Amino acid sequence: MKESIAISTDREALEPEYKYCLQTWAGGLDRFLSMQGGDDDGSYAKNSEAPASAITICKPLFLVAIQSLKLFRREEEMDSVRIADLGCATGYNTLATIDMVVESLRHRYIQECGLEPEFEAFFSDLPSNDFNSLFRSLPAAMLSDGKTRRYFAAGVPGSFYGRLFPKRKLHVVVSLSALQWLSKIPDEVLDKRSPAWNKGRAWIDGAKGEVVEAYAKQSEEDLESFLRCRKEEIVRGGMLFMVMGGRPRPEQPENQLGDPDSRAKHPFTTSMDQAWQVLLNEGLIDEETRDGFNIPVYMRSTEEVERGIKRCGGFEIQRIEYQKIVEHSEEKHEEWIKDPVSYGRAKANLVRATLRPIVETHLGPYLSEELFKRYENRVSSDTALLHKTCFYGVIIACAIRK
């Protein structure tokens, strides 16, 4: 009884903030969707192993694409080579990507043209991104070994579903592990009177057809918007390189993950729904609050990506392929089997890193942390998860602006 009274008191104290958060959820994801900033255990910088693995997998293809890219010469009035990372987030991954592009092109210019151009790197993400942490981790203009950082850096806040740069500004555009995030939750999914009301689920894997259809339509519109803007911003002969979450087959989009073990173990699926249900059972939230939360992610197929590029026009597709990466290393797997509590903590931190800003917008800080605690407890107590293997699917696509 005492615990029940304490819960009620917490809820009542938070009621104004709670109602405000529910009202703002439908106001546009671009105002608050971001990876968790900072550098603590729940930050994206400390929990971006899967995106790093995706970059590692695509690196050989990326380097081949850069080696075959047309060089832009000074006589063509190219004052600098301009590179943009769209959806850069924070941490090592974006910096390593820019370094890779700059060094590869720099060597090509020196060997083939006898000159070293200046490079500009634009780090772009939503205004809610932790640009402070990103730029604190940026290498200094003068490094300790006497070498200089080989590019000028700038931040560009804004949604990549809209224009970010002037026409014909960019030579290389990359977007790594970002395009699976949608610009918004489809309106019909947020309407409890609609057949697409996603009752009892936080995501669309395994959801009913109306929900998945609404997400697929939003995904198609978003990809079209992204490509149309990049067609304006990339110079002729410039390159667009994309890596995004994807699924292995075009049919059955409700099967976003490809295999039963991945469905059971993915951070957005079973354990997430169970954590929301625990909050409901404890009386901390009501059903409408649970059902009104949806993760704005859609895993496209290679066919959907190819269709979107061809429909947009203006690009010549160089390569599109699907690959999958394992959730974590064998060393981590062995470590977590011995200590399931540490596994639960690690998975909860991963969820915090990717979802905390939107969960807080929906629930407020107090209840969002309660959700993550329930999530951690569910994962720690389900030792069967440790004997399953979760794979993340990625689509790698490279296109040249015609």
| Chain segment 26-45, per-residue pLDDT in tens | 445 655 554 444 454 544 44
Question: Residue 346: its pLDDT value, please?
Answer: 85
3-state DSSP call for residue 226? helix
Residue 50 pLDDT more than 80?
Answer: no
- Average of per-residue pLDDT across 20-29: 48
Among candidates 397, 227, 402, which has minimal Cα distance to 319?
Answer: 397
b (16+ CB within 10 A) / e for 215-227: bbebbbbbbebbb
Strand order in the sheet with 81-86: 152-157, 119-125, 81-86, 170-176, 234-245, 391-401, 315-326
Considering only CA atoms, give the Rg of the chain.
22
Q: What is the DSSP letter of 72?
A: P
* Most confident listed range (188-197, 226-235, 256-265): 226-235
3-state DSSP call for residue 395? strand
| Chain segment 336-389, per-residue pLDDT in tens | 778 888 888 888 888 888 898 889 889 999 999 999 999 999 999 998 888 888
- Average of per-residue pLDDT across 324-340: 78
- Average of per-residue pLDDT across 143-172: 86
3-state DSSP call for residue 53? helix
Q: What is the mean pLDDT of the chain?
A: 85
Q: Where are the domains of the chain?
A: 2-401
Structure tokens at 64: 């081949």
| Chain segment 51-106, per-residue pLDDT in tens | 566 677 788 999 999 999 988 876 555 689 999 999 998 777 888 899 999 999 99
Question: Residue 149: its pLDDT value, please?
Answer: 77
| Chain segment 235-254, per-residue pLDDT in tens | 999 999 999 999 999 989 99
The set of residues, in sequence order, having a beta carbon less than 8 Å from that of 292 and lying 6+ positions away, is: 22, 25, 190, 192, 362
- Average of per-residue pLDDT across 134-150: 68
The CATH classification number of 2-401 equals: 3.40.50.150
Question: Residue 134: its pLDDT value, please?
Answer: 87
